[in-house]
Structure 1
Amino acid sequence: MRRILHLAKRSDWEAARLDGTYRWSTRDATVADTGFVHASTSAQLPRVAAMAYADLPSADLVVLVVDLDTLTSQGIEVRWESLDGAAEPFPHVYAPLPTSAVIAVLDVDDDGAGGHAMPDVTGFAVA
């Protein structure tokens, strides 16, 4: 099983659970705005948090663990792409995310220095 991660606002995830589809690409931008859901590997996740979510309290964030095989079985394309001069590719999900593809929702903790401590995802076979 292969997995990727998506950092989400807790309120956006809670709303998605009600209708079965997560439609956010990244903070304050939908899949309709960008064309895909921004995702990351475990190594990329702290940079995403610092870049896009630094001003939000950790309690307002969750990490979605997304199963790539579930996405593929539903005909959803995932591309690994480098955008805006990024040195390494990030996974992009080219459709709204079905909540059925999210196998875990993990809390983000405060790191004690005003930042975010990402959850341990080693047990989830994350890229």
Structure 2
Amino acid sequence: MTTGPEPLIHTLMRDADWRAAQEAGAYHGSADDRRDGFLHFSAAAQLRATAAKHRAGVPDLWLVSADAAALRRHLRWEPAAGGKRPGLFPHLYAPLPVSAVRGAIRVPLGRDGLHRFPDWVP
């Protein structure tokens, strides 16, 4: 198991998925996550590119940040599928317990169709 330097890892969830996770106490992933066998996360510096590639134009997103140390046992930092994107990405090989979430904020779309991230996202 490899861990990265990030204290928090992040995922972009649709509103219905975030609400269901809160009710259930855990997030079990999107259809893509279930297909790939792990939950896809990003480091803060990877969020904008991830949103552009996988969530372009999606209006109802939440940026959910989780404590990497709390997930350490099931967290691996690995290349993206096919190795086409540079860097390592955090992949969680277990459901995300809501107890490990340290923050969740809406990520609205701007008039230009791009997501508006908080200032701390580079």
Partner of 1:18: 23
Find the aligned partners of 2:56 and 2:48 in 1 and give their Cα distance: 10
Amino acid at match of 1:43: A
4+ runs of 1 displaced by more than 2 Å? 28-31, 109-112, 119-122
Instruction: Report the counterpart of residue 101 of structure 1 in structure 2.
Output: 100
State the alpha-carbon separation in 1 of the partners of residues 9 and 46 from structure 2: 10
Match of 1:81 in 2: 78
- The whole-number CA distance in structure 2 between the counterparts of 1:119 and 1:87 is 23
Contact 1:38 1:93 in 2 (8 A): yes
Is the contact between residue 21 and residue 96 of structure 1 (CA under 8 Å) also seen in structure 2? yes
Q: Distance in 2 between matches of 1:77 and 1:21?
A: 14
Unpaired segments ≥5 residues, structure 1: 123-127
Q: Which residue of 2 aligns with 1:44?
A: 46
**TM-score, normalising length: structure 2:** 0.84
Q: 1:115 Cα deviation (Å)?
A: 1.2
Structure 1: how far apart are the matches of 2:40 and 2:120? 18
1:29 pairs with 2:28: no
Contiguous gaps of at least 5 residues in structure 2: 1-5
Q: Is the 8 A contact 2:33 2:40 kept in 1?
A: no
Alpha-carbon contact 2:22-2:98 (below 8 Å) kept: yes
- Contact 1:36–1:95 (CA<8 Å) still a contact in 2? yes
RMSD: 1.8
- SS of the residue 1:110 aligns to: coil
Q: Per-residue deviation at 1:121?
A: 3.9
Q: How many equivalent pairs are there?
A: 114
